[in-house]
Amino acid sequence: MIIGCPKEIKPQEFRVGMTPNAAGEAVAHGHRVLIETGAGKGAGFEDSDYTDAGAEIAGTAADVFSTADMIVKVKEPQPGERKMLREGQVLFTYLHLAPDPEQTRDLIASGATCIAYETVTDDRGGLPLLAPMSEVAGRLAPQVGAWTLQKANGGRGVLMGGVPGVGPARVLVIGGGVVGTHAARIAAGMGADVTVLDRSLARLRYLDDVFGREFKTSYASAGNTIELARAADMIVGAVLIPGAAAPKLISRAQLSELKPGAALVDVAIDQGGCFETSRATTHQDPVYEVDGIMHYCVANMPGAVARTSTIALGNATMPFMLALADKGWKQACLDDPHLLDGLNIHAGQLTYFAVGKALGIDVVSPSIVVKQ
């Protein structure tokens, strides 16, 4: 198979769909890999890193799209890229179709087979190609929150770990899933006094069993949330209700009860945010103040550490990419129902029920399509 990887063109996207390591593995499996020149630059990979791994360099995205049997990317294809897709070609990338009717229409019209990272599943009910980005965002949250807490950045002027004779910062993490657990571990590692809130007792039990005294856990009732928030120097918003907007857990009126200069890091901003006063920001201008409280609300946090994020995503996508290339999409999906869960569109038909429901488009079951 010829596997193509174009340079990402969405603004502020520095990741790349294939690392030189992934390219090398595909070449070792007998495939040709075509990388657009400069595609890895934002993540710190030169063209020569790819050619050393056995890949070839293409001059333009058009060369990649017209030659490759399968396109491996990071972000959903932009309008110009969608025009270059063709029937029989496989597209493997993040798609997020439900809120994007225009993209969905274009991909259906292209005739291509589109497998979305975000809907591939694993046997524990998780989303293995979303988890690495939650891990990155979670671990980044205390790092950006610590910066926000510095006086010159508008914060309280509190050091995460304190010093001998001065207590540490208090960090409250709301939501103890992937983001929250990684945020709590890093904050605790920085020496902060950390509490994690969740609505799931099973999750709180798991955190208590695994992390013991590293951080405290508490049930996320409204009363507990505001009581712990009043005492916090930093609050990390890490809740998720699958398929729904994030619940608002701290209202504007409650900001006056928080410590002046406290830092709110709303990781859940990509689902609308879990603080009433959250609005999405960018890496160029990440922090703003409301009623004396600093808000960090960057919607694509992993972009700040594009190299780590690219490698983490590449590690997760590589086995699926190799299966698709080695067996062809049909056999790979027949052999692996979790990969079949990723099939969103095939040959002009929508094959993902939640997207069909959101957009009012007829859906053909993926289990039928894969056997045709």
Active site residue ranges:
96, 270
Contact between 197 and 261 under an 8 Å Cβ cutoff? The reply is no
In 3D space, the residue among 305, 290, 306, 251 whose CA is nearest the CA of residue 273 turns out to be 251
How far is C-alpha 208 from the geometric centre of its chain's CA atoms?
26
Residue listed under structure tokens 């799209």: 65
CB-wise, 137 or 324, nearer to ligand NAD?
137
Closer Cβ to ligand NAD, 19 or 181, answer by number: 181
Mode of pairing for the β-strands spanning 70-72 and 216-219: unpaired
- The residues binding ligand NAD (CB under 6 A) are 133-134, 137, 174-180, 197-200, 203, 220, 238-241, 246-247, 267-271, 299-302
Q: Name the residue whose CB lies closest to ligand NAD.
A: 177
d(CA 160, CA 191): 6
CB of 99 to ligand NAD, least distance (A): 13
DSSP 239: -
Least Cβ distance, residue 129 to ligand NAD (angstroms): 12
Q: CB-wise, 190 or 220, nearer to ligand NAD? A: 220
**Closest distance between ligand NAD and the C-beta of residue 95, in Å?**
15
Distances (CA, A) of 37 to 56, 99, 201: 9, 31, 50
Tokens found for residue 58: 């293409």
Rounded to a whole number of angstroms, the minimum distance from the CB of residue 250 to ligand NAD is 11
C-beta of residue 305 within 8 angstroms of C-beta of residue 136: yes
- Looking at the Cβ atoms of 69 and 206, the one nearer to ligand NAD is 206
Helix (H) or strand (E) holding 130, with range, is none
> Cβ of residue 331: shortest distance to ligand NAD, in angstroms?
31
- How far, in Å, CA of 110 to CA of 114, rounded? 10
Whole-angstrom distance, CA of residue 145 vs CA of residue 148: 5
Closest CA to 129 of 17, 28, 53: 17
Among residues 77 and 180, whose Cβ is nearest to ligand NAD? 180
Three-state DSSP state, 285: strand
**Of the candidates 247, 120, 230, the residue with the CA atom closest to the CA atom of residue 175:** 247
CB 249 to ligand NAD: min, Å = 6
Cβ distance to ligand NAD smaller for residue 166 or 244: 244
CA distance 271 to 5: 29
